[in-house]
Structure 1
Amino acid sequence: MSRQISSLLAIAAVCVTLAPTPAFAQAPKKAPVDCEQVKCLALTFDDGPGKYAGTLLDTLKKHDAKATFFLEGQYVKSRPAFVKRMVAEGHTIGNHSYKHPDFTKSEPGTIRNEIKTTQAEIKKVVGFEPKLLRPPYGLADLQVSEIAGEFDMPVILWTAGSQDWNSKNVEAIKKQTMAVAQQDGIILMHDWVKQTVDAMPAIIKSLQKKGYHLVTVDDIIKRHNLQAGDVFPVPAGWSAQ
């Protein structure tokens, strides 16, 4: 997919992994999941690592499920052990800014600093910089796309949200997640929402029972040949000229 730089992206969405340095322990590589042959789904968790991330990681490990965590630099700094564990257990981590400002209302220097500072915090903890960017609130425009390109990162959004931040209700989160699950879907969730973490064992079991392989965003996007600054999934209303 080529960069659609000629069009302005104004997204109001409903709400990486490079190999680490040899010194950092990582989960043994399993045979890759072929999402062209099996039904894949990516659960993604924003704004973390949250204080319930350890419990979430326990659940993912128990059910042999992978996930993607878009991390804020401020919490990487305060909860580095969770970040190390995410990588060690085979999950993907991405950049979600340092303090979660709206990039579409920020100066270019602020956006660059938010991304750069978070990259540095993550590298300090796990020895490498993530290669996926999810802007705060899922909001981006041409400027955000351009700056993401400077960091050699595509912009990763989602196909649907769990609405966990809004409902904060276990049953509602389960119902919404199952309702929006689809092949090659990317679902937005948050590991700071306790009810999400509480609901996760039942959600994973239900998804796996329906035949979903719970994979990382890397597995979903690898056949799309994303370039730096590309936005995926392309939001409704995008007009490439």
Structure 2
Amino acid sequence: MVALGAVVLAAGCGQVTAERAGQAQQAAVAKRRADTPTPTPTPSPPPPRDIDCAKVKCLALTFDDGPGEYTERLLKTLQDEGVRATFFMLGENVHHYRDLVRRMALDGQELANHSWSHPQLTGLTSSAVRSQVRRTQNAIKEAAGVTPALFRPPYGATDKRVGKAVGMPEIVWSVDTLDWRYRSVSRARRVGVKEPKRNGVVLFHDIHESTVDAMPAVVDGLKRRGFTLVTVSELYRGTPLKAGRLYPKW
């Protein structure tokens, strides 16, 4: 009986040991899971907006020559106001503000091409024009994962040959605020609010502090005038834009 009891006791100890080992293993697995950080979801841009500019009073705000040191503050203003705009960027600046360019895309802003270094394209060979466009396309794609669909010729200088070399719709403007010349907050505010008309395209430059300082008042004033502020692509929604053509027509 003693021998039998010893065998049973030994078997019981083995069972307890196995149970404890299993519990220890489960605890270790649980700890590893707890210590493993939860993967952060990959940010994605907001969905396209359903805006019909044939039914509402639309206006496209556009910003040239950036990104620059004031662009981040401008993006905050646009985000706070629920506004989307189009940024015609220089490729040589994109390299210095890659995170900012990515934020533009994630905010739902439109990323567009304004050449690599802002030359007058009508004075370049077709090959050089293509290089200016291609390098900027690549820079924006690498920074934000977005391939621009629109191009703005520096100084608005273009012709049929340049348009063919660019190979994209060329977007100019209906209101030039001349903010680059005057660098005046009050003037940018006055012109930016009073001169735009329905379905217009307004030209600003986000590389100037005075322009960015004026934007909260400009946005508020345009909203008070009943404008829905959209990107260029939203403005032309439903209208196929053709490569080498100017929009709006001068």
Q: Where on the TM-score scale, by shorter chain, does this alignment land: which range?
A: 0.7 to 0.9
Return the match for 2:170 from 146, 155, 163. 155
Is 1:218 aligned with 2:202? no
Q: With structure 1 as the length reference, what TM-score do the two structures score?
A: 0.84
Aligned length: 210
Return the match for 2:220 from 199, 205, 209. 205
Counterparts of 1:1-241 in structure 2, within 5 Å, are 25-29=43-47, 31-149=49-167, 153-235=168-250
Amino acid at match of 1:208: K
Alpha-carbon distance in 2 for matches of 1:137, 1:157:
9
Tell whether the 8 Å contact from 1:97 to 1:114 is kept in structure 2 after alignment.
Answer: yes
Tell whether the 8 Å contact from 2:105 to 2:146 is kept in structure 1 after alignment.
Answer: no
Tell whether the 8 Å contact from 1:45 to 1:69 is kept in structure 2 after alignment.
Answer: yes
Q: How well do the aligned residues superpose, as a CA RMSD in angstroms?
A: 1.3
Task: State the 1:98 CA deviation.
Answer: 0.6
Q: With structure 2 as the length reference, what TM-score do the two structures score?
A: 0.81
Q: State the SS of the aligned residue for 2:236.
A: helix
Q: State the SS of the aligned residue for 2:45.
A: coil
Query: What are the Cα deviations for residues 194-220 of structure 1, in whole angstroms up to 9, with x where unaligned?
Result: 001000001101110111111100011
Amino acid at match of 1:194: E
Label 1:24 to 1:49 Cα distance change in 2 as closer, same or farther (>3 A): farther
Alpha-carbon distance in 1 for matches of 2:158, 2:49:
35
Alpha-carbon distance in 1 for matches of 2:48, 2:57:
18
Alpha-carbon distance in 1 for matches of 2:42, 2:124:
35
Following superposition, which runs of at least 4 residues in structure 1 exceed 4 angstroms of deviation? none
Query: What are the Cα deviations for residues 113-140 of structure 1, in whole angstroms up to 9, with x where unaligned?
Result: 1101111111111123111010111110
Query: What are the Cα deviations for residues 82-134 of structure 1, in whole angstroms up to 9, with x where unaligned?
Result: 11011000010111011110001111111111101111111111123111010
Q: State the SS of the aligned residue for 2:186.
A: helix
| Unpaired stretches in structure 1, ≥5 consecutive residues | 1-22, 236-241
Amino acid at match of 2:237: K
Query: What are the Cα deviations for residues 149-181 of structure 1, in whole angstroms up to 9, with x where unaligned?
Result: 2xxx10111111111001100001111112321
